[in-house]
């Protein structure tokens, strides 16, 4: 049993009769149907949710970004419960969770989003049952939604080169954006890892990043990326910086630290894609060049080798296409 964080409340679920029949809440329609506003969790569940999120952060070492995602997903379910006349976590049953998942499908959430929200709710109730905050885990017997295996989308090497070479200006924004693209492609880091870098990286040919689960890994940096970062630090960053005490590597046009949202916006505006596409390209191009699968796993920070093995299917397709295009008897 994992160590407890905080105190477990007195268990009074056996004394809480359901105050009124559970009814399905009114559906959300109109422009807010697909991505509705996520309200705050109801007061009757707030303490339990906060204790659970604290345990996730302390015991599992999840990042604040992951904690915020859990908070949104579970809060959405709890708000749905509140609109459906549930007033106690002990009143939630398996059928109600199923109705919530069906509701998400009705209003247009993707299968991936529904699967993520289902997983968050399952984990929450498993923890509550473990600590006797509910009499039983209503999500225990829910069927597991099979995750479709989708291959990561990588950009061709020529396309990556064209994107980077097109950012050739000398103003601070161009210097910053080129350094961002160079670093994403040279290291394969996640956008959250990139955003957390500091000026201490200047001149280094490797970087230590803290990934999922607070695990550190060392990634080498190619010389083009090193040069781009050095030039940004010397010629671009000082012209944008407002807070002279800040050691954040990336600075926005308002002079403040650039967060993950800002970096995503830059990638979309410059290349019409997302930061993860450059991470996928990093891994795919390494494997196409003959890199060892285990080495790529370490560079990406994947816990499971199976996650990295998805990229081998892409390289096989690339090799097959090359063979069919080049061999005289293909």
The residues carrying an active-site annotation are 190, 212, 276, 279, 302, 311
Residue whose token pair is 């709890």: 78
Q: How many CB atoms lie within 10 A of CB 94?
A: 15
CB 122 within 8 A of CB 107: no
Helix (H, G, I), strand (E, B) or coil at 267: helix
Q: Is the dihedral angle over the CA atoms 193, 195, 198, 201 positive or is it negative?
A: positive
**DSSP string for residues in 271-292:** HSS-HHHHHHHHHHHHHHTT--
CA 29/CA 47 separation, integer angstroms: 30
Side-chain-side CA neighbours of 242 within 13 Å: the count stands at 8
Token digits for 135?
A: 């009499």
CA–CA dist 208, 221 (Å, integer) = 10
Q: Tokens standing for 191?
A: 């956008």
Query: What tokens were used for 169?
Result: 């200006």
CB neighbour list of residue 192: distance below 8 Å, 6 or more residues apart: 63, 65, 260
209 SS3 class = strand
Angle at 329 between CA 326 and CA 330, to 5 degrees: 60
């Amino acid at each position: 049993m994992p160590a407890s964080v905080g105190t477990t409340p007195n268990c009074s679920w056996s004394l809480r009769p359901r105050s009124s029949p559970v009814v399905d809440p009114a559906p959300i329609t109109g422009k807010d149907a697909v991505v509705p506003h996520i309200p705050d969790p109801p007061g009757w569940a707030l303490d339990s949710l906060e204790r659970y999120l604290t345990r996730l952060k302390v015991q599992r070492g999840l990042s604040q970004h992951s904690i915020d995602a859990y908070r949104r997903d579970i809060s959405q379910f709890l708000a749905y419960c509140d609109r459906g006349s549930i007033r106690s976590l002990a009143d939630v049953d398996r059928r109600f969770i199923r109705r919530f998942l069906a509701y998400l499908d009705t209003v247009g959430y993707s299968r991936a989003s529904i699967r993520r929200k289902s997983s968050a709710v399952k984990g929450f109730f498993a923890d509550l049952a473990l600590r006797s905050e509910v009499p039983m885990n209503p999500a225990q017997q829910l069927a597991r939604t099979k995750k479709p295996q989708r291959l990561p989308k990588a950009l061709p090497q020529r396309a990556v080169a064209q994107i980077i070479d097109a950012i050739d200006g000398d103003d601070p924004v161009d210097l910053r954006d080129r350094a961002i693209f160079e670093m994403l492609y040279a290291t394969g880091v996640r956008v959250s890892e990139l955003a957390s870098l500091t000026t201490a990286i200047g001149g280094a040919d490797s970087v230590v990043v803290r990934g999922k689960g607070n695990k550190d890994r060392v990634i080498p940096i190619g010389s083009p990326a090193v040069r781009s970062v050095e030039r940004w630090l010397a010629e671009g960053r000082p012209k944008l910086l407002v807070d002279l005490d800040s050691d954040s590597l990336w600075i926005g046009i308002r002079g403040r630290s650039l967060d993950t949202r800002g970096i995503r916006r830059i990638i979309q505006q410059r290349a019409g894609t997302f930061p993860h596409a450059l991470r996928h390209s990093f891994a795919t191009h390494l494997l196409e060049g003959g890199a060892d699968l285990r080495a790529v796993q370490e560079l990406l920070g994947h816990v499971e080798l199976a996650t990295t093995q998805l990229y081998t299917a892409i390289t096989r397709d690339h090799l097959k296409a090359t063979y069919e295009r080049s061999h005289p008897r293909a």
